[in-house]
């Protein structure tokens, strides 16, 4: 007798094969059979009229601290997501050092992790509501050895390589970079190649938030490909976009470069979220030079009228396509302030809080009042978003963070938005291709060999959803709306969403390299 049978649904295997009516039998946490007349089971769930798919895999998430939140957090399970890749954009929760002070997430303020493995151990102790696999971040490595200094100290790169190796040995599934953020923005290409070559020894992936996603997009893509090719690693281009009015239409160039690099032999993929606005910290609008030396130096520069003017000149210099910050991508009406120490400005647009000031000065004043404020930035064109989303090399990732405080709707609704608005309502891609984009396409890139597909032998991470009902009604003003349409979710054969309701508990797993990920290999 089987443990569980999902009976009568439209089964999608995750590889892009057409859906077919079939039952799915599950025993001891794995799929053991698909087809009809599979025998008896301790529990049979009737899923007639529903899609039965592999549990979705989010290749780009910032849920690193979610295990340390109070209670279970099912916000991703309600979207059908069973596994998240965290540690993205160059930031992971370890390793840390005294030089990292000021960059520890508030929820971890009382517990810094001096080693990457210490963070993984803590996650396992706390438990996780869905599965997590973790990248080690280049920014985090740089902070640990040199703080916010732009120039590396003697021996610092060698120490970064040692820390990276320790992270990979502890179970990191790859290396990430965030080259529009400090201190990663201070790195040159050779530094990135040196660290990616450490990842090569374990046959791991390099995931990059590139140096520019706007006017420097072409050069940034070339650099990402150069790093991957020189190191011999797989490449994941994070949250692809053509951001800012000056580069609307550049998605064709972006996709052409990705395809050409793959033809040349670079094993690469990319991800995108189904929204026309991104979210990040307000300080990212400034040139990276503003932050050199840390927060005290940042505030000093912003308080000095001459320094403030010099930073504006750099930010607005049309000849500077990298190292200028994100300022030229936005207009004041594009900047939606979502988290700031002043309740009077939270939720408003920059254009609405100028009070007679130039936009640049208003931004600098906001940062002086709260250097940790963040926002949502409405900078993308629908044609670019949909063109990128449709491409076969591109999977779907949320770029979402913890479900706390003011937020971006991508945290709560990325996958239902993609499957509802873009697949069902707009017909962007066939359902079989859509399922591939949220499952095997990501699993293959991150080495999750027994997840991201449905067939005998696969881990029984499963999402069952109603294709006619799946959606997310959240907005930028009210993002935290619970999505609809996901009826059942299984983690390792355990039902964690049952008829649309969370069953409780933390039943996910921390997936270390070598635990559902590719085994290490020696560089050659």
Q: Is 438 helix (H, G, I), strand (E, B) or coil?
A: coil
Average pLDDT, the chain: 95
Assess whether pLDDT exceeds 50 at residue 521. no
Provide the CATH topology of domain 2-53+460-469+484-502.
Answer: Urease, subunit C; domain 1 (2.30.40)
- Tell me what percent of the chain is helix, strand and coil, each rounded to the nearest 5: 35, 20, 45
Instruction: Give residue-wise pLDDT tens across range 319-375.
Output: 887 788 999 999 999 999 999 999 889 899 999 999 999 999 999 999 999 999 999
Assess whether pLDDT exceeds 80 at residue 161. yes
Q: Given this model, what pLDDT does residue 319 score? A: 85
Q: Given this model, what pLDDT does residue 318 score? A: 87
Peptide bond before residue 183 is cis, with ω within 30 degrees of 0: yes
Instruction: Give residue-wise pLDDT tens across range 36-53.
Output: 999 999 999 999 999 999
Residue among 267, 195, 196, 254 nearest 220 (CA): 254
Q: Given this model, what pLDDT does residue 98 score? A: 78
157, 210 Cβ separation under 8 angstroms: no
Q: Given this model, what pLDDT does residue 516 score? A: 52
Q: Given this model, what pLDDT does residue 405 score? A: 85
Cα 102 from Cα 91, distance rounded (Å): 13
Residue ranges of the chain that CATH labels 3.20.20.140: 56-276+380-445
- Stretch 367-386: mean pLDDT: 96
More confident residue, 518 or 377: 377
Q: Given this model, what pLDDT does residue 167 score? A: 98
Q: What are the strands, taking DSSP E only, across 146-227? A: 174-178, 205-209
Q: Given this model, what pLDDT does residue 320 score? A: 83
- Stretch 496-520: mean pLDDT: 85
Q: Within 391-506, where are the H helices? A: 410-417, 431-437, 440-445
Assess whether pLDDT exceeds 80 at residue 514. no
Cα 514 from Cα 80, distance rounded (Å): 25
234, 268 Cβ separation under 8 angstroms: yes
Assess whether pLDDT exceeds 80 at residue 388. yes
- % of residues, the chain, pLDDT over 70: 97
Q: Is 177 helix (H, G, I), strand (E, B) or coil?
A: strand
214, 185 Cβ separation under 8 angstroms: no
- Stretch 426-451: mean pLDDT: 97
pLDDT band of residue 112 (cuts 50, 70, 90) is: confident
pLDDT band of residue 520 (cuts 50, 70, 90) is: very low
- Stretch 426-432: mean pLDDT: 98
Q: Given this model, what pLDDT does residue 518 score? A: 45
Q: How many helices (H) and strands (E) does the chain have?
A: 13, 21
Q: Given this model, what pLDDT does residue 524 score? A: 32
Assess whether pLDDT exceeds 90 at residue 24. yes
- % of residues, the chain, pLDDT over 90: 91
CATH class of domain segment(s) 56-276+380-445 = alpha beta
Structure tokens at 119: 């963070």
Structure tokens at 35: 């087809």
Cα 61 from Cα 42, distance rounded (Å): 36
Q: Is residue 440 classed exposed, middle or buried when 0-12, 13-18 and 19+ CB atoms within 10 A define those classes?
A: buried
CA distances from 49 to 26, 45, 182, 343, 371 (A): 20, 12, 49, 47, 50
Assess whether pLDDT exceeds 60 at residue 517. no
322, 220 Cβ separation under 8 angstroms: yes
- DSSP string for 61-112: ---TTGGGSSS--TTTGGGTEEEEEES-TT--S----GGGTT-S-GGGTT--
Structure tokens at 157: 């790169």
Q: Given this model, what pLDDT does residue 362 score? A: 96
pLDDT band of residue 513 (cuts 50, 70, 90) is: confident
CA distances from 350 to 276, 331, 356, 504 (A): 18, 9, 12, 41
SS (H, E, C) 478-512: CCCCCCECEEEEEECCEEEEECCEECCCCCCCECC
Q: Given this model, what pLDDT does residue 322 score? A: 76
Instruction: Indicate the helix (H) or strand (E) that contains 465.
Output: strand 462-465
Lowest mean pLDDT among 6-20, 240-254, 501-515: 501-515
Instruction: Give residue-wise pLDDT tens across range 60-87.
Output: 999 999 999 999 999 999 999 999 999 9
pLDDT band of residue 515 (cuts 50, 70, 90) is: low
Assess whether pLDDT exceeds 60 at residue 522. no
């Amino acid at each position: 007798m089987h443990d569980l049978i999902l009976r009568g649904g439209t089964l999608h295997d995750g590889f892009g094969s057409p859906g077919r009516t079939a039952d799915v039998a599950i025993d001891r946490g794995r799929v053991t059979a698909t087809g009809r007349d599979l025998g008896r089971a301790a529990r049979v769930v009737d899923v007639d009229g529903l899609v039965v798919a592999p549990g979705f895999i989010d290749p780009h998430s910032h849920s690193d601290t979610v295990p340390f939140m109070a209670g279970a957090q099912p916000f991703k399970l309600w979207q059908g997501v069973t596994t998240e890749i965290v540690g993205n954009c160059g930031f992971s929760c370890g390793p840390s050092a005294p030089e990292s002070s000021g960059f520890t997430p508030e929820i971890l303020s009382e517990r810094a992790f001096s080693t990457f493995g210490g963070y993984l151990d803590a996650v396992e102790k706390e438990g996780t509501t869905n599965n997590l696999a973790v990248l080690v971040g280049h920014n985090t490595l740089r902070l640990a050895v040199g703080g916010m200094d732009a120039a590396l100290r003697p021996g610092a790169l060698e120490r970064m390589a040692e820390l990276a190796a320790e992270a990979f040995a502890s179970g990191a599934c790859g290396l990430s970079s965030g080259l529009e953020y400090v201190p990663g923005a201070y790195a040159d290409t050779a530094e990135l190649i040196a660290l990616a070559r450490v990842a090569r020894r374990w046959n791991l992936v390099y995931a990059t938030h590139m140096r520019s996603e706007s006017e420097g997009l072409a050069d940034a893509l070339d650099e990402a490909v150069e790093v991957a090719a020189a190191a011999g690693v797989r490449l994941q281009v994070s949250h692809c976009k053509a951001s800012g009015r000056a580069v609307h239409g550049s998605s064709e160039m972006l996709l052409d470069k990705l395809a050409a690099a793959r033809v040349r032999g670079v094993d690469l993929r990319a991800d995108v979220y189904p929204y026309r606005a991104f979210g990040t910290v307000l300080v990212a609008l400034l040139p990276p030079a503003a932050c050199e030396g840390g927060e005290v130096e940042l505030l000093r520069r912003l308080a000095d009228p001459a320094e403030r003017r010099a930073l504006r000149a750099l930010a607005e210099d049309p000849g500077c396509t990298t190292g200028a910050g994100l300022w030229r991508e936005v207009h004041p009406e594009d900047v939606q302030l979502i988290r700031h120490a002043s309740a009077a400005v939270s939720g408003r647009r920059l254009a609405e809080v100028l009070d007679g000031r130039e936009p640049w000065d208003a931004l600098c004043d906001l940062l002086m009042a709260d250097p940790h404020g963040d926002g949502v930035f409405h900078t993308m064109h629908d044609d670019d978003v949909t063109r990128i989303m449709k491409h076969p090399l591109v999977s779907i990732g949320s770029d979402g963070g913890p479900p706390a405080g003011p937020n971006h709707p991508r945290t709560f609704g990325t996958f239902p938005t993609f499957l509802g608005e873009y697949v069902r309502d707009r017909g962007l891609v066939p359902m079989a291709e859509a399922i591939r984009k949220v499952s095997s396409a990501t699993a293959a890139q991150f080495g999750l060999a027994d997840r991201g597909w449905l067939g005998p032998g696969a881990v029984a991470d499963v999402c069952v959803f109603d294709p006619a009902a799946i959606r997310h009604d959240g907005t930028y003003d009210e993002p935290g709306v619970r999505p609809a349409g996901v009826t059942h979710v299984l983690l390792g054969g355990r039902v964690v969403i049952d008829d649309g309701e969370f069953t409780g508990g933390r039943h996910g797993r921390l997936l270390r390299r070598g635990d559902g990920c590719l085994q290490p290999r020696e560089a050659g």
